[in-house]
Amino acid sequence: MKSIASLLPRLLAAAFAAATISAPALAADAAPPAKPDLARGAKISAEVCGACHTTDGTRGLPANPILQAQHPEYLVKQLTEFKSGKRENAVMTAMASTLSEEDMKNVAAFYASKPAEPGQAKDKETVRMAERIFRGGIADRRVPACAGCHTPDGAGIPSQYPKLSGQHAEYAAAQLTAFRDGTRTNSEQMTGVAARLNDREIKALADYMAGLR
């Protein structure tokens, strides 16, 4: 019987050959994902989304969110959760149910590619209070600073937290209230934060965020 030492060169050669053969397959698996199709995204926007969000996601009705320049990862997450029912909205669930994952990525990239149009705060009396909360939180109620996740200028963090700057104040206030009241349940973090805010603070924050840029 041959010793292990005498078989070692053959075993090493076989292992090297196997690794060499599998390398192309591994390289193929590691290929970068296809880039979103903005033209396809524009078509989906016009056919599915535009009636509520305008065809380029700009400043439509205050009850609906502005989508222009929003992080595409966030938009895909929300569409996915509307489709699955994790985020409840009868209209959006119906719309999202018609979209494939690729469709979602395409339309999200299309909206993200649009430059943001600035908004503005309207209530001068509450802007200072809102700024203190946004930048520093409310220590005695354990409300964290909004800027910690959404950045001081409201730009958000891609793949993690949405852009808030320039958003319709009416829409932002409605979402904060929904988180607080438990009618929007797709973010435990935001539910916990909003639960400690009163109506005046929610309205002031929403107005302040509309003017961030």
Domain positions in the chain:
38-112, 127-210
Check residue 32 and give its pLDDT: 74
Q: Is the dihedral of CA 10, 11, 12, 16 positive or negative?
A: positive
**pLDDT higher than 90, residue 62:** yes
From 58, 193, 92, select the one nearest 137 (Cα to Cα): 193
Class of the 38-112 domain?
mainly alpha
Cα–Cα distance measured from residue 6 to residue 9, given in angstroms and rounded to the nearest whole number: 7
**pLDDT higher than 50, residue 27:** no
Check residue 33 and give its pLDDT: 75
Check residue 59 and give its pLDDT: 85
**pLDDT higher than 90, residue 71:** yes
Q: Which residues, 6+ apart, have CB-to-CB distance to 121 below 8 Å?
A: 127, 130, 169, 207, 208, 210, 211
Check residue 11 and give its pLDDT: 46
**pLDDT higher than 60, residue 152:** yes
Mean predicted confidence (pLDDT) in 32-53: 94
- Least confident range from 19-23, 61-65, 102-106, 129-133: namely 19-23
- The mean pLDDT value of the chain amounts to 90
Query: Please, which pLDDT band fits residue 137 given cuts at 50, 70 and 90?
Result: very high
**pLDDT higher than 80, residue 129:** yes
Check residue 9 and give its pLDDT: 52
**pLDDT higher than 60, residue 1:** no
Q: Which residues, 6+ apart, have CB-to-CB distance to 154 below 8 Å?
A: 163, 164, 165, 166, 209, 212, 213
**pLDDT higher than 70, residue 16:** no
Rg (Cα) of the chain, in Å, rounded? 24
Mean predicted confidence (pLDDT) in 57-75: 95
Q: What is the DSSP string of 78-101?
A: HHHHHHHTSS--HHHHHHHTT--H
**pLDDT higher than 60, residue 23:** no
Q: In CATH terms, are 38-112 and 127-210 the same topology? A: yes
From 74, 75, 73, select the one nearest 49 (Cα to Cα): 75
Check residue 124 and give its pLDDT: 93
CATH code reported for the domain at 127-210: 1.10.760.10
Amino acid at 30: A
